Amino acid sequence: MKRVLLTGAGGDVGQRITPLLKAIYPDLVLSDMKPLPNTHGLPFRQAELSDLPSVKAAVADIDGIIHLGGYSIEGPWETILNANIVGCYNLFESARLAGVKRIIFASSNHAAGFYLREETIPAEAPPLPDSRYGVSKAFGEALGALYAMKHGIGVTSLRIGNVGEVPLDVRRLSIMLHPEDLVQLIRIGLEHPDIVNEVFYGISGNTRAWYDNTRAEKFGYRPKHDAETQLKHAEAEQKKLSPDTVADAYQGGGFCSIEYTADMATIMDKLDRTMDFSG
């Protein structure tokens, strides 16, 4: 994999992993909608994801794409539609036209945020989005599957938890993803010869993981970090937060309680009868 394009390079995750990726892929190309304060000495291609011609120009001569670009939290429908749905389509379609071989799609834990914290879900768990943002990530996973099966692009969707070196609260003890472990997952997606269309959980080797990441392990993923080593920090940060019945019940946390109007007790009664991943 020679020329790799990183979209959303100006975001928090993009900035954290650029130096790590540069050491592995010297021909790395960065892209974002706005000029970057720090390009780490790498070429930069400015592109607006909702504008097909500018995305086509960004992916020219590229072998593999790490697609972090888009809107990274819950937002108004118009914002999600343009950045994450139209934008994701433009990215995959431009990649097909340019002959790109591999794509890493930054999906999110919020594509499946309405699973209960008591559940352990495998990569095969169907999406259960907790937000318009989560729906857009489920859309991206489905689009990736289409381009993998119909056009032969090797696609890896990473249901990313929370990227950082410390768990920001108790919820993040389950979903933290250390940047070094993220880079390991990206390398598998870009380089493993057997990738067709995969969904992996983007988490470190967390003691309290809510995810069964066997699928990623089969492809050689061996995370080096575990959020549990910083338990005290997570607990101290948690004490600063107010309890939230909905957020605290579900894996997606606060994204679940935004605009929530359901009767959670009634839903919980029925869920007990319908969700079982134990088999």
Binders of ligand 15L: how many residues, by CB under 6 A?
6
- Quick one: which segment of 1-9, 103-111, 146-154, 198-206 binds ligand 15L (CB under 6 A)? 103-111
DSSP per-residue codes, 136-154 = HHHHHHHHHHHHHHHH--E
Residues between 15 and 74 with contacts to ligand 15L, criterion CB under 6 A: 72-73
The CB-of-172 to ligand 15L minimum distance in angstroms stands at 6
Stretch that binds ligand 15L, among 47-55, 58-66, 104-112, 223-231 (CB under 6 A): 104-112
Which are the catalytic amino acids? 133
Query: Which CB, 42 or 234, lies closer to ligand 15L?
Result: 234
Q: Which phi and psi angles does 14 have, rounded to 5°?
A: -55, -45
Cα separation, 178 vs 168, whole angstroms = 12
Q: How far is the CB of 73 from ligand 15L (least distance, A)?
A: 5
Quick one: 62 exposed, middle or buried, by C-beta within 10 A (0-12, 13-18, 19+)? Answer: buried
Q: Minimum CB separation from ligand 15L for residue 243, in Å?
A: 18
Is 108 among the residues that bind ligand 15L (CB under 6 A)? yes
> Is the sign of the CA dihedral 152, 158, 164, 165 positive or negative?
negative
**Interface of this chain with ligand 15L, residues 153 to 172, rule: CB under 6 A:** 162
Burial class (CB in 10 A: 0-12, 13-18, 19+), 252: buried
Of 3 and 110, which has the nearer Cβ to ligand 15L? 110
Q: Per CB under 6 A, which of residues 161..220 are in contact with ligand 15L?
A: 162
Length of the chain: 279
Query: Which element (helix H / strand E) includes 183?
Result: helix 179-191
Q: Which amino acid makes up residue 246?
A: V
The binding site for ligand 15L (CB under 6 A) comprises: 72-73, 108-110, 162
